[in-house]
Chain A
Amino acid sequence: MTRLWSTALVTTALASRNILRNPRRTLLTLTAVIVGVASTVALAALARGVAQQLVDDSIYNLTGHLKIQHPDSARDPAVEHTIDAREESVEALQQIPGVHAVLPRIVAPAVIRSERESFPITLFGVDPGLEGRNSVAGKAVSNGENLSDSDDSHLILGSKIVEKLETRIGRRVVVMTQDIENEIADRGFRIEGIFQAEVQSTELLFSFTGLETLRKMLRLKDDQLHEISILVEPEASLPEIQKQVQKLFPKAAVLTWQELQPLVVSMTKIQNGFLIIWFLIVIVSAGFGLVNSLLMSIFERVREIAVMHALGMTRVWIVIETVLQSFLLLVVGGLIGVLGGMAIVRQFSGGIDLSKFARGASIAGIGDRIVPQLIWSDVVLVVGLLIALGTLGSLYPAWLAAQVNPARSLQRL
């Protein structure tokens, strides 16, 4: 046992010294590994940042983690598709453990009209106190004043639609929609505030007024709502809460954000697949360089390997020694690469400005600022794959080293 131990120690010492014998070559090989790992870690963080922003934005843009709505309203957002939301059931929602916020809303597809232009919008009747920090509906306006309460009869519009309507704060606009009796309902609103959103289409389509104001305009009853959006605590189990909510609202559809935003889910999934393929491509490319430089070091040391062989080092230990060389290189290169990647991510921790591509980013559903997000499982996966595949690849030069014939090699110059 002690013999095995001492052999292992000697082999490790040999491997590390062999790495340092040609510092220039080692440095170049390391550089390739470091560039590979650092760029992969940084790019993965960037991709994760985009995905996270996509998810956060869609939740913040009125989806919430869970939404209670009429089973048909996803297909046909008509005014009569309401849910039966009695006060006691709404209050019971708040009692469910893990529920952070309960946001009741009335929603009407409408047409907005200024003196000059008219556009289609979606008008949300909200409770500004509840929406607060939980959604874009409660976001502080960039201009003018926020809604004060559910009875507030003013209008909050996105800055983009205000521009298109050629109107401004304090002016009146007419909103036309259909009430519960299918009669045209229109009324004048004063524009009280203007909000700005991450995604341009939000500024164009969403507008807000008080919940009770819109209820009156649509002639809905007191217990009628179009949707209740629910936000949960980060550590809570969404499916568990979904089940409890469904019990309280047996006739309504209770949907998670994944069900409401399949596009976001499929984008995230595709990105996952893409990232793993990318990790492999980078590692294989870096692996070629590694195997090559190992091969060089073997060829230079053919005589030396022959001597060690002649002195009694077995083939197994020669293989181990060679593989150990690449393993040490990979660990060191991987670690420095991860540090480098982290440094790059930190450099951009303030976010990357995409405003030059704002309209394009809006199509893809992302805002014009992306904050990279380092995810440790990505880092572990990159470094793990690198070390595993790199070590596997170095078996080839190791095998060549083991083939060295001491008698013949020692005779050669």
Chain B
Amino acid sequence: MQTLSLAWRNIWRNRRRTLLTAGAVAFACTVLSFTISLQQSSYKTAIEASASIFQGHLQIQRIGYQDEPKLSLAFPFSSNLQSLLSLEPSVAAYSPRVNAFSLASSDERTFGVQIFGVDPLTEPLVSSIPGTIRAGRYLQAKDSSGAVIGKALSENLKVSLGDELTLLGQGADGSMAAGIVSIVGIFSSGSTEIDRTMIQIPLPTAQEIFSLPSEINALVVRSTNLTRSNEIANRIQQILPNNLRILTWDELNPGLKEAIELDMVSGWLFLFSLILIVAFGVLNTFLMSLLERIREFGLLMALGMKAWSLIFMVSLELLCLLLTGTLPGVVMGLAIITYFSIVGFSVPGAEELTQLWNLPAVLYPQLNPLFLLSGPTVVVVITFVLVVPFSLRLRRINPVEALTSV
């Protein structure tokens, strides 16, 4: 305790120097706290957005379906499975799907499309698409030949509400699959890819057209907590039959996961160079303060202070100096993030870019102690790593020589 108060007084012996050094640290910590929080929040938003549009937080599939999504890799949607899932408290909702590739022809045009057979009652619980109907309505339980279609696809096929589409594809057994559906709704999910390629029809209709009686390709699950999805997946996996697998968002969308990792690596390159610059600044100040006090250290040692206590004291000085900088820095970062989490953060001219990541145009960064503190923590650690070899040299101080030095 005494050492601490000594260390604290020592750093304030040169007020201006300490303030300037702490200022540099505070500035860097503000930048770090804010940047990391913004970055991590945007990842979270991107993951949540891409999961909630259509993919879902988790999906139960036949083993191998993810790598090779074949219609025939299906499994029965048994009441047994349903009751197992209902018992799991972290499952908020689930919905079955059949997915087939098919040709869709209107009077004038033909395109290759993705047909999804969905349950009209449970689908709105796992996907945001039913909520983005721009014309008409979403599928209803009594629909047998209704279909909802992406807006861009409807324009390309030149169809509108009430028009019929002929579907032509291959059934699960390899037979020819054909059916006629009529458009009851047009959606605009916000994802270009989905809006250009997707048609949803009622699950029983899809099972009939593609000869897949009472079987499904995927069971889409929304969990109560996306960040804990790994843990939830592990628990559910244990109660699943052997031929089924539950996949988490990053397994379902490895591209997004890798893109985030890539962005994180490149982001840290930038942040790390900033941390190094600041650490060198602190090292500079710290060494100055050691060198000008060699006589004083000699005196302290002559009076009986052990070299290790001396090293402990200067380390405390460094810690005090760093905290004087990091604390205001974190507070400033916190203030800026709080401000943007209320008014929202947006970069002008970035609309195309945010859409690519399924991000909203305005981002509301999250207040999370982990994001806030990780940058400043690295600053403290790196500075200590740089400084330790120098402070260890204090062991070699010879009181007699030190006292006679200038």
Interface residues in A13-65 (C-beta closer than 8 Å to B): 24-25, 28-29, 31-32, 35-36, 39-40, 43, 46
A109 contacts partner chain B, Cβ-Cβ < 8 Å = yes
- Interface segment out of the listed B51-59, B102-110, B131-139, B303-311: B102-110
- What is the bound-complex CA distance between A288 and B28, given in angstroms? 11
- Interface segment out of the listed B1-9, B236-244, B347-355: B347-355
By beta carbon, the residue of chain A nearest B30 is A281
- What is the bound-complex CA distance between A286 and B273, given in angstroms? 11
Whether A267 and B284, one on each chain, are in contact in the complex, defined by CB atoms closer than 8 angstroms, is: no
B262 contacts partner chain A, Cβ-Cβ < 8 Å = yes
Interface residues in B253-290 (C-beta closer than 8 Å to A): 254-263, 265-266, 269-270, 273-274, 276-278, 280-281, 283-285, 287-288
- What is the bound-complex CA distance between A293 and B281, given in angstroms? 9
Whether B277 and A32, one on each chain, are in contact in the complex, defined by CB atoms closer than 8 angstroms, is: yes
Whether B262 and A354, one on each chain, are in contact in the complex, defined by CB atoms closer than 8 angstroms, is: yes
A129 contacts partner chain B, Cβ-Cβ < 8 Å = no
- What is the bound-complex CA distance between A29 and B280, given in angstroms? 8
Interface residues in A282-308 (C-beta closer than 8 Å to B): 282, 284-286, 288-289, 291-293, 295-296, 299
Whether B17 and A292, one on each chain, are in contact in the complex, defined by CB atoms closer than 8 angstroms, is: yes
**Residues in A neighbouring B266, C-beta threshold 8 A:** 46
Interface size, chain B (Cβ < 8 Å): 59
- What is the bound-complex CA distance between A99 and B156, given in angstroms? 34
Whether B356 and A363, one on each chain, are in contact in the complex, defined by CB atoms closer than 8 angstroms, is: yes
Whether B269 and A76, one on each chain, are in contact in the complex, defined by CB atoms closer than 8 angstroms, is: no
**Residues in B neighbouring A286, C-beta threshold 8 A:** 277, 281
B190 contacts partner chain A, Cβ-Cβ < 8 Å = no
- Interface segment out of the listed A90-98, A153-161, A176-184, A215-223: A176-184
By beta carbon, the residue of chain A nearest B265 is A357
- What is the bound-complex CA distance between A176 and B103, given in angstroms? 9
Whether A288 and B24, one on each chain, are in contact in the complex, defined by CB atoms closer than 8 angstroms, is: yes
Whether B281 and A288, one on each chain, are in contact in the complex, defined by CB atoms closer than 8 angstroms, is: yes
**B137 → chain A, closest Cβ, in Å?**
26
Whether A363 and B103, one on each chain, are in contact in the complex, defined by CB atoms closer than 8 angstroms, is: no
B101 contacts partner chain A, Cβ-Cβ < 8 Å = yes
B230 contacts partner chain A, Cβ-Cβ < 8 Å = no
- What is the bound-complex CA distance between A358 and B27, given in angstroms? 35
B341 contacts partner chain A, Cβ-Cβ < 8 Å = no
Interface string of B130-169 (1 = CB under 8 A from A): 0000000000000000000000000110000000000001
- What is the bound-complex CA distance between A284 and B257, given in angstroms? 34
**Residues in B neighbouring A39, C-beta threshold 8 A:** 273, 276-277
**B278 → chain A, closest Cβ, in Å?**
5
Interface string of A245-284 (1 = CB under 8 A from B): 0000000000000000011001101100100001001101
**A116 → chain B, closest Cβ, in Å?**
8
- What is the bound-complex CA distance between A182 and B269, given in angstroms? 54
A78 contacts partner chain B, Cβ-Cβ < 8 Å = yes
Whether B258 and A282, one on each chain, are in contact in the complex, defined by CB atoms closer than 8 angstroms, is: no
A120 contacts partner chain B, Cβ-Cβ < 8 Å = yes
A169 contacts partner chain B, Cβ-Cβ < 8 Å = no
- What is the bound-complex CA distance between A262 and B192, given in angstroms? 15
**Residues in A neighbouring B288, C-beta threshold 8 A:** 25, 293, 296
* Chain A, interface SS category: helix
**B106 → chain A, closest Cβ, in Å?**
10
Interface residues in A351-374 (C-beta closer than 8 Å to B): 354, 356-364
B23 contacts partner chain A, Cβ-Cβ < 8 Å = yes
Question: Number of A-B pairs whose CB atoms are under 8 Å?
Answer: 156
By beta carbon, the residue of chain A nearest B102 is A118
Residue among B112, B257, B258, B349 making CB contact with A120, cutoff 8 Å: B112
A241 contacts partner chain B, Cβ-Cβ < 8 Å = no
By beta carbon, the residue of chain B nearest A47 is B266
B342 contacts partner chain A, Cβ-Cβ < 8 Å = no
Given contacts A43-B273, A119-B101, A285-B24, contact A357 B258 (CB under 8 A): yes
By beta carbon, the residue of chain A nearest B114 is A120
Residue among B20, B28, B110, B258 making CB contact with A360, cutoff 8 Å: B258
**B52 → chain A, closest Cβ, in Å?**
18
Residue among A28, A36, A270, A281 making CB contact with B347, cutoff 8 Å: A270
Whether A182 and B109, one on each chain, are in contact in the complex, defined by CB atoms closer than 8 angstroms, is: yes
Whether B277 and A111, one on each chain, are in contact in the complex, defined by CB atoms closer than 8 angstroms, is: no
By beta carbon, the residue of chain A nearest B19 is A292
Whether B352 and A32, one on each chain, are in contact in the complex, defined by CB atoms closer than 8 angstroms, is: no
By beta carbon, the residue of chain B nearest A32 is B280
By beta carbon, the residue of chain B nearest A266 is B352
Residue among A119, A120, A289 making CB contact with B24, cutoff 8 Å: A289
- What is the bound-complex CA distance between A98 and B338, given in angstroms? 54
Whether A361 and B259, one on each chain, are in contact in the complex, defined by CB atoms closer than 8 angstroms, is: yes
Residue among A32, A109, A270, A299 making CB contact with B353, cutoff 8 Å: A270
B223 contacts partner chain A, Cβ-Cβ < 8 Å = no
Interface string of B107-125 (1 = CB under 8 A from A): 0111111000000000000
B128 contacts partner chain A, Cβ-Cβ < 8 Å = no
**B344 → chain A, closest Cβ, in Å?**
17
Residue among A118, A178, A266 making CB contact with B350, cutoff 8 Å: A266
Whether A288 and B17, one on each chain, are in contact in the complex, defined by CB atoms closer than 8 angstroms, is: no
Whether A295 and B281, one on each chain, are in contact in the complex, defined by CB atoms closer than 8 angstroms, is: no
Residue among A32, A178, A295, A360 making CB contact with B262, cutoff 8 Å: A360
**Residues in A neighbouring B347, C-beta threshold 8 A:** 270, 273
**B148 → chain A, closest Cβ, in Å?**
20
- What is the bound-complex CA distance between A111 and B114, given in angstroms? 12
B194 contacts partner chain A, Cβ-Cβ < 8 Å = no
**B249 → chain A, closest Cβ, in Å?**
14
By beta carbon, the residue of chain A nearest B272 is A39
**Residues in B neighbouring A284, C-beta threshold 8 A:** 27
B248 contacts partner chain A, Cβ-Cβ < 8 Å = no
**Residues in B neighbouring A36, C-beta threshold 8 A:** 273, 277
Given contacts A32-B280, A266-B352, contact A24 B287 (CB under 8 A): yes
Q: In the complex, which of the residues A111, A262, A295, A299 has the most CB atoms of chain B within 10 Å of its own CB atom?
A: A111
**A77 → chain B, closest Cβ, in Å?**
8
Whether A363 and B27, one on each chain, are in contact in the complex, defined by CB atoms closer than 8 angstroms, is: no
Whether B273 and A282, one on each chain, are in contact in the complex, defined by CB atoms closer than 8 angstroms, is: yes
Residue among B105, B257, B269, B352 making CB contact with A262, cutoff 8 Å: B352
B21 contacts partner chain A, Cβ-Cβ < 8 Å = yes
**Residues in A neighbouring B350, C-beta threshold 8 A:** 266, 270
Whether B254 and A359, one on each chain, are in contact in the complex, defined by CB atoms closer than 8 angstroms, is: yes
Given contacts A269-B349, A282-B277, A360-B259, contact A118 B112 (CB under 8 A): yes
**Residues in B neighbouring A263, C-beta threshold 8 A:** 352-353, 356
By beta carbon, the residue of chain A nearest B347 is A270
**Residues in A neighbouring B260, C-beta threshold 8 A:** 360
What are the 8 A-B residue pairs with the smallest beta carbon separation, nearest first?
A360-B258, A288-B24, A289-B281, A360-B259, A39-B273, A120-B112, A32-B280, A111-B112
Give me 17 A-to-B residue pairs in the complex whose CB atoms sit less than 8 angstroms apart, sorted by A's number. Answer: A32-B281, A46-B269, A76-B156, A78-B156, A118-B170, A119-B101, A120-B101, A263-B353, A266-B351, A266-B353, A285-B278, A289-B281, A357-B258, A359-B254, A360-B256, A360-B262, A363-B356
- Interface residues of A, Cβ cutoff 8 Å to B: 24-25, 28-29, 31-32, 35-36, 39-40, 43, 46, 75-78, 109-111, 117-120, 176-178, 182, 184, 262-263, 266-267, 269-270, 273, 278, 281-282, 284-286, 288-289, 291-293, 295-296, 299, 354, 356-364
